[in-house]
Structure 1
């Protein structure tokens, strides 16, 4: 067996931590509006929370099952990876805390002040004391841990006040025990002072009154704490009974997640080992798994607080307002199906509005010529217009088939709810495959016009979610192309037959043909390079971890193929290494919007092949999910996507280059290009041009009507003269 070469790859988890560090750079950037900077810290926190729950949780499971399992990028065992993760995380906490304190200082200049109780003046202190006893104290359930009160289950990511309490026993000997005050999630996250933008966090308020809660004890130590638990449930190792309802099975799985093993312990402000080790031992954690933060553990309050600020101040301290624009490719006064009969349509979220796709769905739901609608759903909005129009279609006796993925992590409950709602309305619900998550984004509408049945297909790189469509950069491709329509029909047939390995003429579909198809396309470029022909590959994705594709890309580099990559998150290949990856250039963009589109281009000039996809080149996507990569053959749309790629590749403001150590570095500014701002401005310009065109057309119609009315009036007068 050939020995694996680790010289040009880096560990997935450590690469991810570098990405989250990149998010912190946005919080540190003085050109980013102040409230957006604290929002980036909130994003950093939630990213890190999920990373520990899922990735560290998964590695922890591996340490229990298979100690010899090694990472195919570095040769490290699961335990070695965890040790490296813990080691790399501590500096991130310190960096985050410094940035947070700096932002707090800047916010004070705008009278946005987060207080501790101790620094309040007498008037505010009196108000907060009254507030505590009237609104908070009645909801608290303090606990002591002793012989008669065993250690309770600490809920994942819930905040607690942790105390060491001193008391005198019957022999008047001083003893210590632990105390916990769970902070109820029904309480507001913060309390604003009347008539101001100053506030106190709920945990800081309860912390201040700890001594008043444990009145029979001396509080020797107190801090705010939270435990992070493993949330990575391996569904393959959790058998489902053949007769069990799948939704019921998933509901039970969600309950199980809440009680999985601890993986991280956080303390706010203070971690005095003498006192905190008791809690650490109860949770079975090592010292390396304990983290001290000077930033509030939970920054979920940030979004709500920003909404409450006065409009003028909020506008001053956040990104300039931007509304997703109308697409110049779509005439709102003409049937979308008629337009698709004439041309393909590409939407670019969030620069162009998702409303166009919703209009497509709405028209399909109400068009008497539409026979059926089929769609895959992975993550949808809490209040979803997509669901609304699918229900509307059912009311209008359309045949509606929905594959809804109940295992979309952290969206399971929402998806279960919508699955039940749709099924009750008469929808055919599919739940996908036992071994594969369905992550593809595809919708197909079957319509019969003048006796001819025709397919209208939509392929996307992102979810059918109105909320994320305003925040995530994604493509939505609409077409009446017959070959793509046939593949879409075949795809849904295979879903309904639980066949993940169907045959398609145009689509590359995981788990059957996506990886092999991509490798084959890379091989074509390798062959060109070896024949001294121009050879180029451009890939844009969220993350790159698939070892087989990594090795093939490295082979392409060694063969002379020019490779450009735009990777937002995890990147396991290290570029720029002599005789290994020296023909590979990798950039990543982190900005106002989340880069989410996946684009794969092979070749040069008119012969270039282009695909958009729901899939990253990650092992989970190519092996463990049902994904689609769709070819873009429409010349106009192909050119637009390639133009977009060029803009992204030249982003020297929000773009960063990955160097030969696998670290991010700034790009020397020459063009001063911010890709996301460029796309915003282009969308506004195209929308304004459309409005001007419509105004001119309206003026021309009005002028024509005036002329006709003038002539009509003249002839009416003549008629009167001779009558």
Structure 2
């Protein structure tokens, strides 16, 4: 049995994180259309949560054995019950936020209307539009003894009618599937729109002409995603795992896990739906706001010109790094000094330039890279193919099991092979989630290495949306380690030893624990022990216990955990010296940074690994030391900036809820980093104002811009 006095269930922690996203949609300080984006993100996050996490727990419930979560002592059924209770509260909050945003849009002159709000003129337009444009795409039927219930696609939207036969008064239901290949938003004019399903619900009754319509409902079904069980972040005995694999072979994939309705149907209709979908009533969620809110992103693009620049964040494009000279070859600059790129504030272009140079340089003999998620139009892949066509030995470890990116990765792996690249596909039970690149040159008959190690993917699209670091180094010790790593990939060796790198599933968790032990020893010797970590999630029980051990020994531990935190801070005699924060902002916080100690003597690593069981013990992940003192200082300064944020940062309390930190300076870390990139980016002049570090009351004072200009630029 584990001590759960300072831990919490992973799934419930994730729901609290997603509530943080919803809080951004409710925050009046966030521009209106950006709030709509956050609402859409919350909704898509919840969709994936049900497909993957609730789907996995649903599978576990088929075991008829209790599988105990080691952070909460809850079994699978208890977790599902707790999830459904919390999600029901989130639906109420989501509906409230949607109505609030819709009302604010109406106040600015844009109307997303309901079918009952149509004017007579609009009905005259929409009826022929339904008959001529929508109706030919519709799949519809009744459900009775001779017409079986149709398959509802995952996340598909359908209209359900409660029907009564006019001739004999027999009741049944009718179903119309909303076609996914039609535009969800129907523009009535530049200031008004209506959703496709609302129009179908209103006029679709005509398709059941021999029936009277008792009622109608808009419905959506969420199904269990077809997942790789070995990738799931569960910790339990191997006999359960073996038993679960047998069960998975027997079960039907993509079984329903959630039913959403715009209003509660009559008990008779509900009973039919639950029976046909094999669900119980605990999985039914009534929501007055639309489902599948991804369409809001497209609506934002339409509304931005109408509502003005104050309705969206100021546009920002990644700037050229102040540490990179655009006129000099990348390889020469890296040989002279390590370079760190900071996404999305700095551009990913230096990586593309590096690959372009390597593809053409006659001294380069090989390029080796791991690819987990790459863009659909990937310049990285194109440069690798160009290098292969130029006769370079190009080795690509392509992870085909990157969830929801499998199809894109399969396509690119085929293209890379056709171009002459050697493509390998990782390991049988271990995904390769590391982000490493190695360029090998032959100079004076000796191999010379150049490595690039990152916290995020080689993806030009996400590099503009996610915050990540990318280290480029000519340190030969690190280069030899990366070369040894690829050699081990080729022979399937997961437990290799390295001089500088930490590599999971073996040396990375060992290295982290050993570094924490060194901080514990400092305290025992009468000094200060300090650990500061930034990551997406922490759920690994062994690492949680190690952090608790460090805290109990007197080590100060500060964590910035964007998402799941199964460790709870400030619990007496367990985590008294631990503080946990979360930051949700304009960009998705994605760095993994490990700091042990303070100042120049600190050990600093950047990594691809969160402190999750799947990352530390079921994947190949890499952590690289920061050896250049200037880059180390830059990362430590960056961490100071993140932990200084007193607007977007929240503190996790012993109650397991998040609370605002005290606002002393009105400081927004991401805004500060945007301003910094603007100031120092090549070709970018200083901005007129800095909205980051000025207290709100100072903005009203005379001479604000004069004082600000002096503060920023001297």
**TM-score, normalization by structure 1:** 0.90
Deviations 1:194-229 (A, max 9, x none): 4x1311111111111121121121121211111111
Indicate whether 1:84 and 2:67 are aligned: no
Q: Deviations over 1:260-285 (max 9, x none)?
A: 21111101244443422310121111
Match of 2:125 among 124, 127, 130: 127
Which of 165, 168, 173 aligns to 1:167? It is 165
Deviation at 1:191, TM superposition (A): 1.0
- Give the Cα separation in 2 of the matches to 1:611 and 1:116: 53
Aligned to 1:47: 45
Aligned equivalents of 1:279, 1:312: Cα separation in 2: 42
Structure 1 CA distance, aligned partners of 2:327 and 2:298? 38
Alignment correspondent of 1:243: none
Query: What is the Cα deviation at residue 67 of structure 1?
Result: 2.1
Paired position in structure 2 for 1:702: none
Deviation of residue 379 (structure 1)?
Answer: 0.7
SS at match of 2:621: strand
Determine if contact 1:500/1:512 at 8 Å carries over to the other structure: yes
CA deviations 1:482-539 (Å, max 9, x no partner) are: 0110011011111111222111111111111111211111111111112221110001
Q: Which residue of 2 aligns with 1:302?
A: 296
Counterpart for residue 714 of structure 1? none
Partner of 2:220: helix, strand, or coil?
strand
The aligned counterpart of 2:174 is: 179
Tell me whether 1:389 sits opposite 2:387 in the alignment. Answer: no
Give the structure 2 partner of residue 643 of structure 1: 637
- Taking the aligned partners of 1:451 and 1:571, their CA distance within structure 2 comes to 50
- Which has more radius of gyration? 1
- The 2-side partners of 1:142 and 1:661 are apart by 49
Aligned residues of 2:343 and 2:464 also touching (Cα < 8 A)? yes
SS at match of 2:659: strand
Shift of 1:640: 0.3
1:223 aligns with 2:221: no
Distance 2:132 2:442 in 1: 65
User: 1:330 and 2:328 equivalent?
Assistant: no
Counterpart-to-counterpart distance in 2, 1:689 and 1:192: 40
Residue in 2 that maps onto 1:192 = 187
Task: Say whether residues 1:290 and 2:284 are aligned partners.
Answer: yes
Deviation, 1:646, is: 0.7
Q: Secondary structure at the match of 2:139?
A: coil
**Whole-Å Cα distance in 1 between the matches of residues 266 and 442 of structure 2?**
72
Q: Distance in 1 between matches of 2:300 and 2:586?
A: 16
- Residues 265 and 338 of structure 1: is their aligned pair in 2 closer, same or farther, counting only changes over 3 Å? same
Q: 2:340 aligns with which of 336, 346, 350?
A: 346
Shift, 1:294, TM fit? 1.1
Query: Residues 257 and 668 of structure 1: is their aligned pair in 2 closer, same or farther, counting only changes over 3 Å?
Result: farther
Tell me the CA shift for residue 314 of structure 1: 5.4
* CA drift at 1:689: 7.8
Residue of structure 2 in register with 1:117 after alignment: 115
What CA deviation, in whole Å up to 9, does each residue of 1:609-668 have, x standing for no partner? 011000000011011111001111110000000000011111100000001111100011
Cα distance in 2 between the residues matched to 1:178 and 1:464: 50
State the shift of 1:230 in Å.
0.8
Report the CA distance between 1:451 and its aligned residue.
4.0
Classify the secondary structure of the residue corresponding to 1:65.
Answer: coil
Question: Residue 55 of structure 1: CA displacement?
Answer: 0.6
From 463, 475, 479, the equivalent of 1:481 is 475
Deviations 1:350-390 (A, max 9, x none): 00011121111122222222211111111111111111111
Determine the C-alpha separation between the residues in 2 that align with 1:689 and 1:682: 13
Which residue matches 2:692? none
- Output the CA distance in 2 between the equivalents of 1:507 and 1:273: 61
Match in the other structure for 2:17 = 19
The question of whether the paired residues in 2 share the 8 Å contact of 1:349 and 1:469 is answered with yes
Residue 126 (structure 1) shift: 1.2
Task: Using the TM superposition, give the Cα deviation of residue 440 of structure 1 relative to its aligned residue in structure 2, in angstroms.
Answer: 0.4
Question: Which residue among 442, 461, 466 is the counterpart of 2:460?
Answer: 466
Give the ranges of 4+ consecutive aligned residues of structure 1 lying more than 6 Å apart after TM superposition. 689-692
Change (3 A) 1:616 1:556: same
- Matches of 2:609 and 2:252, distance apart in 1: 29
- State yes or no: 1:28 paired with 2:22: no
Question: Tell me, what secondary structure is at the counterpart of 1:128?
Answer: helix
1:220–1:691 CA distance, 2 compared to 1 (3 A): closer
Matches of 1:305 and 1:384 in 2, distance apart? 27
- Using the alignment, how far apart are the partners of 1:257 and 1:50 within structure 2? 20
Correspondent of 2:61 among 42, 48, 63: 63
- Consecutive unaligned residues of structure 2, counting only runs of 5 or more, are 233-249, 687-714
Indicate yes or no: 2:588 matched with 1:588: no
Contact 1:155 1:258 in 2 (8 A): no
User: SS of the counterpart of 1:150?
Assistant: coil
CA contact (8 A) 2:41 2:294 kept: no
SS of alignment partner, residue 600 of structure 1:
strand
Pair 126,93 (structure 1): closer, same or farther in 2 beyond 3 Å? same
Mapping 1:564-579, distance limit 5 Å: 564-579=558-573
Q: Specify the alignment match of 1:531 in structure 2.
A: 525
- Residue correspondence of structure 1 range 598-637 to structure 2 within 5 A: 598-637=592-631
What secondary structure does 2:477 align onto?
A: helix
Say which SS state the counterpart of residue 37 (structure 2) adopts.
helix
Match of 1:559 in 2: 553
Q: Secondary structure at the match of 1:207?
A: helix
Say which SS state the counterpart of residue 511 (structure 1) adopts. coil
Q: CA deviation at 1:301?
A: 1.1
Equivalent of 1:158 in 156, 159, 175: 156
Q: Say whether residues 1:424 and 2:418 are aligned partners.
A: yes
- Consecutive unaligned residues in structure 1, runs of 5 or more: 239-255, 693-723
Distance 1:319 1:525, change over 3 A: same
Could you tell me how far apart the structure 2 residues matched to 1:83 and 1:15 are?
Answer: 15
Give the alignment's TM-score, normalised by structure 2: 0.91
- Aligned counterpart, 2:697: none
